[in-house]
Structure 1
Amino acid sequence: MSETNTRMAPIVVDHPLVQHKLTRLRQASTSTAGFRRLTRELSLLLCYEATRDLPTEAVEIETPVESTTGRTLSGKKLCFISILRAGNGILDGMLDLVPAARVGHIGLYRDHDTLEAIEYYMKLPDDVAERDCIVVDPMLATGHSAAAAIDRVKAAGVTNIIFVCLLGAPEGMDYMAARHPDVKIVTCSIDRGLNEKGYIVPGLGDAGDRLFGTR
């Protein structure tokens, strides 16, 4: 996929199971264990949608009954790239669906005054430029962290990138569209907006704190 000036419309997964699990995830009363489980389940469903257009090829196989033609994945292999720390909560569900995928990590934190993303760690597979990449982070708020992470991934030679998040804000969607119009976004919901602290509303709180029990 080449970069263009045409904005790619985000994909909001409105499947009833996704929306039901998202509602439970939002609830303040959901326990840490429940939040982790729901995040894993939602991540698997989002991965299903994000990988919908993977290329396939015909192969001849033998079933216990007869010969037949099936389809198997072809083309580039996948790499999941987690934006630390909260992105790690999404990895398990995705790896359940695609266990052979490689995994990369990018460590970023948000400066609370400027809201800019500051990098402190990056480790990607050696062959990442030869793979299609799915970058994951539970929240797309201002979009600064996601855009900064994708800057690094593109600098490593990756040309086909999808961004997956549980929730997004219109401000983050617009920022990503301006910085990376070629990157498809897959999410469960685009919420109302950001509050004065840069948090998504109504949102679900701090995803990292809720995943790791540090709230």
Structure 2
Amino acid sequence: MSTGPEEQAELEDRTGSGELSHAYGPRVHILDNLLLRSGLARMSSPAPRLHEVIDLLRCAYESLLMAASRELPSVDAEVETRMAQAHPREGVFRGQILDPKTPIVVCDVIRAGLIPAQICFERLLSVLPDSLLRLDHLNMSRVCDEEGHVVGVDLAGSKVGGSVEDAVLVIPDPMGATGSTIVRAVEHYVAHHGTPRKIIVLPMIATPEFLRTVLDIREDLVVYTARLDRGLSPPDVLSLPPGVDWERERGLNEHSYILPGAGGMGEVLNNSWC
């Protein structure tokens, strides 16, 4: 059933914020960057070789993590620069930086999430103490029925290095399709490893269906994505800003693959078609 104008969601104006305006609510952030979108367009096509795809993926996740870093706790700091020897007072940087006392756990959702998680982990290691950072590995795979429909997720063989109690949990899974993987990941952590203080989900590409699913998991979960794909939505819905007619937006085909999407990134990134 079509959503009437009186039922349409309120559009949030993100002009000047580096984000696209949308009506999915304040916990969703869709980056608005031409260079980033151009890279995703090329990465999604059959044209680039694997090393190009990985390079473009690295650029995408550097951008996503930098944007999402606003969600991390910060502290006021004073740091002497190389100019402090000649100018003891003026040669000191004073401002906010990431709180070095915040524990952060990056979750690699195998297979597609392996490289994005490593990228995020390495970048965080460049500015935060080793002792408070961890990279976990969840061996999650789709479970499909005889007709190819996704019906669940298998977690056998996962490696989790400890508690996530009061930590920030970062999940950089590139393809935000159904959201079932994120649901299962969060359920696993909360059931077996504690309750994180915040969850930051970083899909490279997300769908309206994904957003609807993951936003219902917890109120402290936020999503940062580089692209919102809703290619199977009716033309009149596509003429509206994202989220305004959320009920009729559709980005998944009958096998839960994203359209326009980028294909199976787990296979692409590992050059392993199985």
Q: In the alignment, does 2:148 pair up with 1:110?
A: no
Counterpart contact for 1:163–1:185, Cα < 8 Å: yes
List runs of 5+ in structure 2 lacking aligned partners: 1-23, 231-250
Query: Residue in 1 aligned with 2:118?
Result: 92
Q: Quote the Cα distance in structure 2 between the aligned partners of 1:124 and 1:70.
A: 35
| Larger RCO, structure (CA 8 Å, separation 6 or more) | 1
Q: Quote the Cα distance in structure 2 between the aligned partners of 1:127 and 1:172.
A: 26
Counterpart contact for 2:62–2:119, Cα < 8 Å: yes
Count residues with an aligned counterpart: 210
Which deviates the most, 180-189 or 35-44? 180-189
Larger % of strand: which? 1
For 2:142, give the aligned amino acid: R
The Cα offsets for residues 116-137 of structure 1, whole Å up to 9 and x where unpaired, read as 1121133223243242110121
Superposed counterparts of 1:145-164, under 5 Å: 145-155=181-191, 156-157=193-194, 158-164=196-202
Q: In the alignment, which of 47, 53, 66 is matched to residue 35 of structure 1?
A: 53
**Per-residue deviation, 1:200:** 0.3
Query: Residue in 2 aligned with 1:3?
Result: none
Q: Quote the Cα distance in structure 2 between the aligned partners of 1:117 and 1:181.
A: 23
Which deviates the most, 202-211 or 24-33? 24-33
Find runs of 4+ consecutive structure 1 residues off by over 4 angstroms.
none
**Per-residue deviation, 1:95:** 2.9
Give the TM-score normalised by structure 1. 0.88
For 1:107, give the aligned amino acid: N
Q: Quote the Cα distance in structure 2 between the aligned partners of 1:53 and 1:160.
A: 9
- Counterparts in 2 of 1:175 and 1:57: CA distance versus 1, 3 Å: closer
Counterpart contact for 1:142–1:198, Cα < 8 Å: yes
Counterpart contact for 2:76–2:95, Cα < 8 Å: yes
The Cα offsets for residues 170-214 of structure 1, whole Å up to 9 and x where unpaired, read as 112112223334311111111111111110001000001110112
Give the TM-score normalised by structure 2. 0.71
Q: In the alignment, which of 109, 114, 136 is matched to residue 83 of structure 1?
A: 109
Which deviates the most, 40-49 or 172-181? 172-181
Counterpart contact for 1:141–1:171, Cα < 8 Å: yes
Which deviates the most, 66-75 or 187-196? 66-75
Q: In the alignment, which of 67, 85, 88 is matched to residue 66 of structure 1?
A: 88
For 1:84, give the aligned amino acid: I
Query: Residue in 1 aligned with 2:157?
Result: 121
For 1:211, give the aligned amino acid: L
Q: Quote the Cα distance in structure 2 between the aligned partners of 1:59 and 1:36.
A: 35
Identity rate of aligned residues, in percent?
25
Counterpart contact for 1:8–1:177, Cα < 8 Å: no
- Counterparts in 2 of 1:9 and 1:80: CA distance versus 1, 3 Å: same
- Counterparts in 2 of 1:202 and 1:55: CA distance versus 1, 3 Å: same
Superposed counterparts of 1:169-208, under 5 Å: 169-192=207-230, 193-208=251-266
Q: In the alignment, does 2:72 pair up with 1:54?
A: yes
SS at 1:59 equivalent: strand
Which deviates the most, 178-187 or 39-48? 178-187
For 1:72, give the aligned amino acid: I
Q: Quote the Cα distance in structure 2 between the aligned partners of 1:130 and 1:175.
A: 23
List runs of 5+ in structure 1 lacking aligned partners: 1-5
**RMSD between superposed Cα atoms in Å:** 2.0
Counterpart contact for 2:43–2:262, Cα < 8 Å: yes
